[in-house]
Amino acid sequence: LLQLSAPLNMLGMMYREVKQAMTNLERLFGLLDERQDVQDRPGAVPLHATQPQVRFEAVRFAYDPRRQILRDVDFTIAPGATVAVVGHSGSGKSTLARLLYRFYDIDGGRITITDASGTEHDIRDYTQHSVRATIAIVPQDTVLFNDTIYYNIEYGRPGATREEVEHAARAAHIHEQIAALPDGYDTEVGERGLKLSGGEKQRVAIARALLKNPAILIFDEATSALDTRSEQAIQGELDRIALGRTTLTIAHRLSTVMGADEILVMDAGRIVERGTHLDLIARQGVYAAMWKLQQQERMEELREAAQVPQP
Ligand code: ATP
C-alpha cells in the first residue's frame, strides 16, 4: 500500500498543477483577446470620453481583399443615442462592431469618436488600449471561464472592489441568484462547474460590461431564442444600461430595436434603409417585410402554444 501511495500522491499533485496551469492559460487567453494586429500610430493619444459621438464615414472593409464586406457605410450615433443594425445573416452587422472596437483597420473612409472636449478624431489617432477601455461589448455568446462567478464578473474590470462587483451584479439582476447559491460568488462556473442558461450567461456579460462603466456600449444580441419572458427582462435591463451611453445594437429580433433612435437595415455590406421603426414601417420596404414576417412567426408560436391540450 505504501508503495502505491507515493505515485498516487504524485499523480494528485500533478493533477492540481495541470489544472492550475490550464486556468492560467485560460486567463492568458482572456488577456490575449486584445488582438495585436492593429498598431498604434506614432503620436496616438489616449481617448477620454464621457458621452461621445461615434461616426462611420464611407467605411470600406474586407477581411480578404478578394471579397468586399462593407461598402460605403455611413452613420452617426449621437452622444448617448442608440443605433440598431438589422439585416440577414452575413450582411456585415457584427463586422461594424469589430471595426469600432478596432479588431481590424478599415480599407477606406474613417471611423471617428469625439473626445471629452467634443472634438472628433479618427479612432486610429487614439491608442487602441484607450479605445477598448471606452467600449464594452455584450457579445452574442459569452465565454465563461472555468473559475468562480466572482472572477467571471470581475473580468470586466480586473481589480474592481467586491462592492463594485456586487453592484454590477445587482444592476444586471443576477445578484440574488448568486447570493442564494451555497458558495455564493465563490461558486465555480463553466464546463467543470455550475452550468448557466443562455439568459444567465448574458446577465453575467451585462454585469461585466457594467463594471467597465463604458461610455460606448456594443450589444450583440444572441441569436439563440430566449423565452419571451427572459427576452423581455433582458431587454428592460439593456434599455436601462444603455441610457446615457452611446450604443450600437446588433439585433436579430426586431422587437429589440423598436426604441432605437435610428435603425440601419443592412444587405450585402450596404445600408439599404434607415430610419426609426415607424419611418421604416411606413416605407413598406425591406424592414417592413421583415417585421411582418416576424409578427407572423410570433402569431404562429402563440397559436401553437394555445393548441397544447390542457390537462
Ligand atoms: P450574423 O447575423 O450571422 O451574425 P452578420 O451580419 O453579423 O451575421 P458578419 O459577421 O459581419 O455578419 O459577417 C459578414 C461577412 O464577413 C460574412 O460573409 C462572413 O462570412 C464574413 N466574415 C466574418 N468574419 C470573417 C473573418 N474573420 N474572416 C473572413 N470573413 C469573415
pLDDT of residue 227: 63
Pocket test for ligand 1, best of 63, 98, 218, 224 (most atoms within 8 A of CB): 63
pLDDT of residue 16: 54
Residues of the chain predicted below pLDDT 50: 23-32, 34-35
pLDDT of residue 194: 83
Ligand 1 center to residue 108 CA distance, Å?
18
DSSP 148: B
Please indicate whether residue 12, judged by its CB atom, sits closer than 6 Å to ligand 1.
no
Distance of alpha carbon 189 from alpha carbon 8, whole angstroms: 28
Please indicate whether residue 94, judged by its CB atom, sits closer than 6 Å to ligand 1.
yes
Distance of alpha carbon 230 from alpha carbon 67, whole angstroms: 38
Ligand 1 center to residue 214 CA distance, Å?
25
| Ligand 1 nearest-atom number relative to CA 250 | 7
Ligand 1 center to residue 252 CA distance, Å?
14
3-class secondary structure, 83: strand
pLDDT of residue 192: 76
DSSP 249: E
pLDDT of residue 308: 66
Residue nearest to atom 3 of ligand 1 (CA): 89
Ligand 1 center to residue 36 CA distance, Å?
20
Please indicate whether residue 234, judged by its CB atom, sits closer than 6 Å to ligand 1.
no
Asked if 102 and 56 count as a contact pair (C-beta separation under 8 A), the reply is no
**Which residue has cell 455550475?**
194
Ligand 1 center to residue 95 CA distance, Å?
6
Ligand 1 center to residue 54 CA distance, Å?
22
Please indicate whether residue 92, judged by its CB atom, sits closer than 6 Å to ligand 1.
yes
Residue 262: exposed, middle, or buried by beta-carbon count in 10 A (0-12, 13-18, 19+)?
Answer: buried
Helix (H) or strand (E) holding 71: strand 70-77
How confident is the model over 145-177, as pLDDT tens digits? 899 999 999 998 999 999 999 999 998 889 999
pLDDT of residue 301: 78
- The three grid cell numbers given for residue 25, joined into one nine-digit string: 492559460
Please indicate whether residue 66, judged by its CB atom, sits closer than 6 Å to ligand 1.
no
**Prediction ipTM score:** 0.96
Distance of alpha carbon 222 from alpha carbon 224, whole angstroms: 5
| Ligand 1 nearest-atom number relative to CA 96 | 11
| Ligand 1 nearest-atom number relative to CA 92 | 11
